[in-house]
Each structure stands twice: as C-alpha cells, then as structure tokens.
Amino acid sequence: MVKLKTWVSAARLRTLPLSISGIIVGTTIAVQQGNFSVVIFILALGTTLGLQILSNFANDYGDGVKGTDNEDRVGPARAIQSGLISRKEMRLGITATAVATFLLAVLLIYTAFGTRNFLYAVIFFLLGLGAIAAAIKYTVGNNAYGYRGLGDVFVFLFFGLVGVYGSYFLYTLELNWKVFLPASAIGFFSAGVLNLNNMRDRQSDEKAGKNTLVVKLGEEKARNYHYFLIIGAVLCLVIFSVLTAEELSDFLYLLGFIPLMLHLKRVEQNQNPMLLDPELKVLALTTFLISILFGVGLIL
C-alpha cells in the first residue's frame, strides 16, 4: 500500500487537470464546428495523461539521480529522493509509461487518419515521438534541456500548440490559424505553472546547477515573466473570442479570470518561495476551470 501511494504521489495527480485542458479546448472548438469522435477524444485524453505522468516520473528520476532533489528543495519530497522507489524501479516505470503512451498515440493516429491520410499520420507520429522524448529529456541525461532553461519552450509547444491545435486537427483535418490563439493561451498557462515551480525551487536549483529560466532571469524578472505569461494567455483567449464569438456565452470563461487575478496578486505579494507551492495547484486548476468554461460556452 505504501508503494502504491508513492507511485501515485510520483505521478503528481495535481498536474493532470492542467494536461487535459488543451484537449478540452481543442475538442470543443471542433465540436462547435460539427466535428467530434468519442474514440478520438478518449484516446487523446489517454495519450496526454500518459505524457504528463511520463514527464513527472522522468523528472523525479532525473532530478533524483543528479542530486537536485536534496534537503534544500522547498517542494514535497520526491520518490527517488525519499528512497521509497529505487532508481531501477523508476526506470521500469518510465519505460512502461512510455510504451503505453506510444501505443495510445499510435491508436489515436490510426483512428483519426486511417490509411487515407498518410502524410498527416507521419507528421503526428513524429510529433508523438517528439513529445515522448521531450517528456523524458526534460531532466534525464547529460543534455537535459530543463537544466538549460528550455523547459518553458517545450511546455508551450507540446501542452499548448500541439495539445490544442493537434487535437482540433485530429477531428477536423482542417487548418485554422485562429485556433493558434487559444492554443497559445493554454501554452502560456502551462508555462506559468512550470515557472511557478521553478520560482519556488530557484535557490535549490541554482545550488544544484539546474539553470532553469528562473535561475537565469533572477527573482524579480521571473515574477515579471509570470505576469507576461498569464496576461498573454488572457489576451489570446479574448482576441479569439472577439474574432469568432457568435453568442454571449462564448465569453463564459471570463468568470475564470477572477481566481486568476487573485493568483497574480498573491504572486506579486509573495516573499516566501515555499508559499508559491499552493499556487501551482491554484493555477493548474484555474486553467482547467477556464478550459471547461470555454468549452461549455462554445457548445451552449
């Protein structure tokens, strides 16, 4: 039972609502246009959750092996750090999750494109491989990009652009540049969660040689960067709605901006990195709420 609880903890369930926000947004835009498939939706959710859990396992392993997770770390103890899961066990967990995610991605691609759209299938297959590699290489290996300040870029790309626009395209097989706006919004929110995590761990990361973007920017610039991400996400959603709205309900997601503004106020007033830890959950759940309200508003 203790081992199971440790694996569940290592999967970091609080990050999962954030990971499916992009699928919800991309799907509901497609639904509004008359395109939907239950099978594609379920497989897209499964693939995205697999990628998030894979990323969490790999992050636990990479930071644990490198010694980044140590007594200086502010956040909750990790599985490798605590010794409750061995390095070998975590490697097996990473491998099993990667294989399961890959199989889900292949099923998703085949369901969406079949044998008729070979080029699209190849492109999404490569994106799937890239997403799996990115999930692992964030902290694992000698050239882990998370240690070079590039984590935000990959989060924006895969959980924002690929998550939203990719899921939209799986249903519609159509190009629509306007969808890049909500895709960018989810990307900005997701990068915001990572930025909060790195702001919380700035001092311990710097000591351990993990040069996240926050370490490179410094505390004050990282805070300003956080404002940029959140305000940028808000503007992208509003511009999309101004360009596409047909009903007042299309702006229902504006209600989600209330907890978002309160979050920004707390970040602005924060003087203790440890107190940023609850804000990770706040921003992740607020992003999920906004995606739900966004979707409901579109299909009402």
Q: Tell me how far apart the alpha carbons of residues 217 and 90 are, in angstroms, rounded to a whole number.
A: 32
Domain ranges of the chain: 26-299
Instruction: List Cα–Cα distances, 202 to 21, 50, 105, in angstroms.
Output: 27, 28, 34
**245 — phi, psi (to 5°)?**
-60, 135
Can you give the pTM of this predicted structure? 0.95
Structure-block tokens of residue 211 = 């040069």
Q: List per-block mean pLDDT (blocks of 10 residues) for the chain, which spans 300 residues.
A: 79 90 98 97 97 94 81 68 87 97 98 93 96 95 91 96 97 96 98 96 90 95 97 98 95 97 96 91 96 96
d(CA 297, CA 251): 7
- pLDDT (tens digit per residue) in 241-265: 999 999 999 999 999 999 999 999 9
pLDDT tens for residues 223-236? Answer: 999 999 999 999 99
From the CB of residue 130, how many other CB atoms can be counted at a distance below 10 Å?
14
Which CA distances in Å does 131 have to 51, 101, 128?
7, 10, 5
Distance CA 47, CA 105 (A): 6
Q: Report residue 286 as tokens.
A: 């607020």
Return the amino acid letter for 2. V
Beta carbons of 106 and 129 less than 8 angstroms apart: no
- Distance (Å, whole) CA 184 – CA 190: 10
Confidence (pLDDT) at 8 = 87
